[in-house]
Amino acid sequence: MRRLPIPEDVTGEEIDKDVRQELQSLPKGLAEDVAKNLVMVARLIDEDPETAYAYSKVALRLASRVAAVREAGGFAAYANQKYSEALAEFRAARRMTGGVDLWPVMADCERGLGRPEKALEMAGAPEVHKLDKAGQVEMRLVAAGARRDMDQLDAAIVTLQSPELASNSVQPWTARLRYAYADALLAAGREGEAREWFAKAAEADKDGSTDASDRLAEMDGVEFVDAFDESEAEAEAEAEEDVASREAPAQAVEVAAVAEDSVDSQDSEADQDDDEADEDDHKD
């Protein structure tokens, strides 16, 4: 089996204790290998989803009967928009655990596969009532997205209207919920309300999980100048000035040399004229 390189700082101990407990059913050496690959999946899934997917495939080949491994494989496939594969992995993990935590992301896979009606059907299933608050909010976001997939903008807006949206308390899902609501309002042409909710989303978005601030600035007609590009331009201008300042003395020297040559030439001609005049005097 082809393995992928594991950095020396990865020990496998970084994974969640519940996952570590699941891996105890494996031989110790195998459990360590699987854990390290799962760490790499978690480490890379946002910045380099393709490589994270590759590590997840290694883990799946090593321990496909472990629910946490199937779940990691599902999220890695989901991050790479491999929705059919992701859905299969999530279903396998759910069969193993009997839990409902993956229900919203499974519904979103149905959306990714072009089946928004199926996602809405899942949003109305009994499993939703078993979800915790975060899961229920996530399901609401998926359902609203399915409505938008079906060009039902007003229904999407109504779907997002909830006690969680109206609450002033900031929870991990608050920024994303407000952002989705603002985006739906904007799509429906309700720009004034959309701006208000983009502002609320930006206020709640402490970790930059959305681009609410950029959307708000765009609506206000604010243009941002890239500080890096500006510094580059200044550096180029300074470099050009340095070149010009180095060339100027050289040009001055060159002009002076030409002038000196001209003077020498004139002096030489004058001396020659004087010599000719002396010869004429001797002849006379």
In this predicted model, which residue has the larger pLDDT, 194 or 230? 194
Evaluate if residue 152 carries a pLDDT over 90.
yes
- Say what the pLDDT of residue 93 is: 97
| DSSP single-letter state for residue 12 | S
Between the CA of residue 138 and those of 28, 49, 133, 135, 203, what are the distances in Å?
36, 22, 9, 5, 20
For residue 1, the model assigns a pLDDT of 64
- State the average pLDDT over residues 200-227: 86
Tokens of 199: 């502002």
Q: Please report which confidence band the pLDDT of residue 278 belongs to, taking 50, 70 and 90 as the band edges.
A: very low
pLDDT of residue 256: 46
Asked whether 136 and 171 are in contact (CB, 8 A), the reply is: no
Max CA separation in the chain (angstroms):
134
Please report the pLDDT score of residue 240 as a whole number: 62
Q: What is the DSSP letter of 23?
A: G
Cβ–Cβ under 8 Å, residues 29 and 22: no
* pTM of the complete model: 0.77
12, burial (CB in 10 Å: exposed 0-12, middle 13-18, buried 19+): middle
Portion of the chain with pLDDT greater than 70, in percent: 78
Binning pLDDT at 50, 70 and 90, where does residue 5 land? Answer: very high
Alpha carbon 215 to chain centroid, angstroms: 16
CA distance 46 to 64: 23
| pLDDT in the model for residue 279 | 47
**What number is the average pLDDT over the span 137-161?**
98
Residue 222 — pLDDT band, cuts 50, 70, 90? confident
Lowest mean pLDDT among 174-183, 207-216, 242-251: 242-251
HEC sequence for 19-64: HHHHHHHCCHHHHHHHHHHHHHHHHHCCCCHHHHHHHHHHHHHHCC
- SS3 call for 190: coil
Residues 93-122: what's their mean pLDDT?
A: 97
